[in-house]
Structure 1
Amino acid sequence: MTTVQFNDVIDVNPKETIKKGALSKKLPMDGVETFTKYIKAYEITKFTGGVKFRNGDTLMARITPSLENGKTAYVDTLHQGEVAVGSTEFLVFRPKKDIILNEYIYYLATTPEFRDLAIKSMTGTSGRQRVQTDLLLGYEFNLPSLDTQRKIITLLDGMDSKIKLNKGINDNLAA
């Protein structure tokens, strides 16, 4: 296991391009379910701005109360090579190096330690507080080997799949 700094292995809000006025998928904040990794729905709109992301990226809300409510998602629903846009109130995380797996970043971003750091870093007026990205960049964590990351992802993905299945059953029962 190696101790690394967030900024050394993860890009925050990496550059992507969508032509102004082009139709694209847009992810509003309410398109992310609370405390699950899944994206509920996109809207199709003309691109006017926002954070851009692609499959394999992790999105984390940077504004109150969305961050506290667990708005963090793993993007895996786009077409190959497709770039989508989200609310400017999301932070986008992507691996810089091939020593950290995309999905591992999602699970890192949902750990209590990382979430607490993000929440405690918030500044601004009471109703519009936002995460100070600079504090996240300096976050140090123990990074396991790629093999161990894969094992962790397999275990946690299995749990996430069961949660999604149970939620679907509960939603059907409520309908």
Structure 2
Amino acid sequence: MSAVEVGVRHPISYEQRGSRAGIRARGNDVLFARITPCLENGKVALLPAIIEPTGGSTEFIVIRPTPAVDPAFLYYWCLHPDVRNNAQHQMAGVTGRMRLVARQATLVG
């Protein structure tokens, strides 16, 4: 989670994970924070196209663009206040520990 900084397009670090627990991502994937307050603060990152498959915090949802979607567009779309506000309204859990569940989330209205 600390590798993604608010307002910085790419993570400041990433590592190969192999079979360890955590998310699986690859180049051009967008990482979208799913836990409060990171989602509200806009923790979103675009993985550089040239990296090897990587792993990371389970507190991110991996959003993978199709070939028809520009990864940079998807990154900026995820930063839009309407998208993040919609995601916030779908969070579940107790106050202070709320999370967005990827299988249930609909980020478009």
Asked if Structure 1 and Structure 2 have the same fold, meaning a TM-score greater than 0.5 normalized by the shorter chain, the answer is yes
What aligned pairs does 1:70-149 form with structure 2 within 5 A after superposition?
Answer: 70-76=42-48, 78-79=50-51, 82-96=52-66, 98-133=67-102, 134-136=104-106, 139-140=108-109
Q: Percent identity?
A: 37
Cα shift at 1:127: 2.0
What is the CA distance between 1:125 and its match in structure 2? 1.0
Q: Rg: which structure is higher?
A: 1
Q: CA deviation at 1:42?
A: 2.9
1:36 Cα deviation after fit: 2.2
Write 1 or 2 for the structure with the bigger share of helix: 1
Cα separation, partners in 2 of 1:56 and 1:124, compared to 1, 3 Å: same
Pairwise CA distance, 1:114: 0.2
Answer yes or no: is 1:37 the counterpart of 2:9.
Answer: yes
Greater percentage in strand: 1
SS at match of 2:13: coil
Q: How many equivalent residue pairs?
A: 108
Unaligned runs of 5+ in 1: 1-28, 141-175
- Asked if the contact 1:118–1:132 (Cα under 8 Å) also holds between the matched residues in 2, the reply is no
| Structure 2 residue matching 1:30: 3-state secondary structure | coil
RMSD between aligned residues: 2.0
Partner AA of 2:53 in structure 1: V
Query: Is the 2:29–2:46 contact (alpha carbons within 8 Å) kept by the matching residues of 1?
Result: yes
Which amino acid in the other structure matches residue 73 of structure 2?
Y
Gaps of 5+ in 2: none
Deviation at 1:78, TM superposition (A): 4.7
User: Taking structure 1 as the reference length, what is the TM-score of the superposition?
Assistant: 0.56
